[in-house]
A and B are shown apart, each in its own frame.
Chain A
Amino acid sequence: MLGREWSQRGLNAMGKLVAEIIVEILQSAGVKRCYGVVGDTLNRIAGSLEKSEIEWVSVRHEEAGAFAAQADALVADRLTAVAGSCGPGSLHFINGIYEANRNRAPVILIASQIIRDELGFDFIQEVDFKQVYRDCSVFCDMIHTPEQARRKTVMACQAALAKRGVAVLIVPADISASVVDDRIPYAVHVARPVTRPNDTDLAEMAEILNKSENVELYGGSGCQGAHQEILAVANKLKAPIAHTSRAKDFLEFDNPYNIGMTGMLGNEAGYHALLDCDALLMLGADFAWRQFYPDKAKIVQVDIDPTHLGRRHPITKGVVGDVKATMASLLPLLVERTDASFRSAYVKRYAGVGAGQNCCRPQWQHSRKLSDTGDQQPSGKRCPVHGRRRYPGRLGLSPYRGERSAPHFRESASWNDGQRHAVSHWAPEGRTHSTGGVHGRRRRNFDAVWRPDDGRRTGATHQDCRLR
């Protein structure tokens, strides 16, 4: 109600309420929703939002609002707003803001602030948002005068969209309640250039990939919208495609070469394919856990952010570009292959991961009560898919060729401390080895039980490795 009165007064004075200017610019930058909790210093802006096309989504805690805005921004691919009151109100967004900024989600936080006259005197609920949000934003600044409101809001929106991250705009309550002359037409300009590596870089990439025997594709969130181009490259290179959790939506569907994820939440097909390939083509992927990257393979990385190149694991060649445009430019330089044995071995192995849930390891997938229902009992026969121990370590061998490739195999150990522990699992040919306390008895070597090339599955079933 107050907001309406003010805006009315503003119009009468041939000027505009700053709160209205801010909302108008948000709308022009494509904002459709604003998440938050209303209150005191935010009330003017809330009043202007209510009159606008922007939908207000009331949440019970700002943190949830920031996570929701991030999801909204990424799913709809547009700038999304969050807004909060001064002090604890706008402070509560912080965890969601950190994640949104890390995930390159275009989000703008309107952090309303106590009036300028009281800033710097430890006023009730005074928080220096610039200090707080500097580390998790691509733009973080306060509107210092009513006159700079339009220009600064424009810069904030533009930064969030162009730099892909969070813009934090700090708005003191007296500024949003001010009326200013608003005639200079600063406006948001959003460019969407197509970026691809230069021809020399492309040729180098192609040469590495063409010269490598078994190529594996590993896609991250940068693969959005590039499904067709990635599959065309995978088809030509006869490469399986693994993905990060964030790329699930972009790569899993309609993809006969999909082998799921690696990492702690991944599956054994994705995990081993990444470690066993000769060349890894990383596409918009910034997977953080270094121990899941191959040490021996050549790694070619494509990313839109040059600072991401080689920051997780040393790489052979890094290029900057959109995945879609880069794959389209790379495709004609690649040599078509005929041998798809590497890919089919891992695709088959991935299919087995799902099948295994119903054949040879019911008690691993379900509670005892579930397995007692009868339909998921072990058949007593050797599992056609697994036919071997459950979690084979990486024994430095190439399962698709049935030969050992690296006798010095180093496994990363421990759960998520990010450290390598150089635990040797290797045992000389023909000997069994033990990995300790879980299964409680010695097991056979991996290569004795996995030979996808001739379709044989020999060796221990899970029954054999149970603790008795």
Chain B
Amino acid sequence: MPVQTAAPRIEVRASAPVETISARTKVAVRNLDFFYGRVQALHQISIEIPERIVMAFIGPSGCGKSTFLRTLNRMNDVIPGTRVGGEVLIDDHDIYAPGTDVVDLRRRVGMVFQKSNPFPKSIFDNVAYGLRINRVTGSGSELEGRVEQALKDAALWNEVKDRLKTSALSLSGGQQQRLCIARALAIRPEVLLMDEPASALDPIATSKIEELIFDLKKQYTIVIVTHNMQQAARVSDRTAFFLLGKLIEVNATEKIFTAPNVKTTEDYITGRFG
């Protein structure tokens, strides 16, 4: 199957804020294979993700898009019996090279999961968790400042500022997911991976998350997996289409949804299968 690698140039969408988007490659994946035991889940994936854009991964269930996302911060390491081949370069450094500090990698590449997973602690402690374990902050007031900033970045501050000490589990589903985003943002990662972050949310909460993603790309490189093609079209600059563990096509989102190069992509986005 034809695999098109990313062009270094980015087409700025009409709706995007007028600013120069850096075309520097943040993440470069070369010939990535991935195995669950003997089952090969990813075949020879090669893709480049430029800095400070939103890259969406679309494709039917089981196509490997989540698996691929999880190779970018080595979250698959925790699943026994998995194996990786090929290279994942972040800032030109192979994260699967021996001697890579996985803990440090995950600080730089944050992740938001499909199902919100706040810790059974207070709202404040949830956001402070990453800061505390990484000893990012020295003083207590600095910690409070960072927590406040993260909650503001995640557009949650106004809703929770008066009850930071209450349980995170008392928040609504959409708020919990934004809390998880705040938690990931607090340690200021360079890349933010989002695995279907809005799939369990209602339309209002979803639109809040989408607005948030749009804001966040000014500072972060965002990779989002989504089932929802409209969502990919709304939030992303570039879109990659996966099928059966292979990367079929990657291009500017506009191109993918209006004039895809590959017939299979067209069949999928027009709803002929999947």
A binds B: no
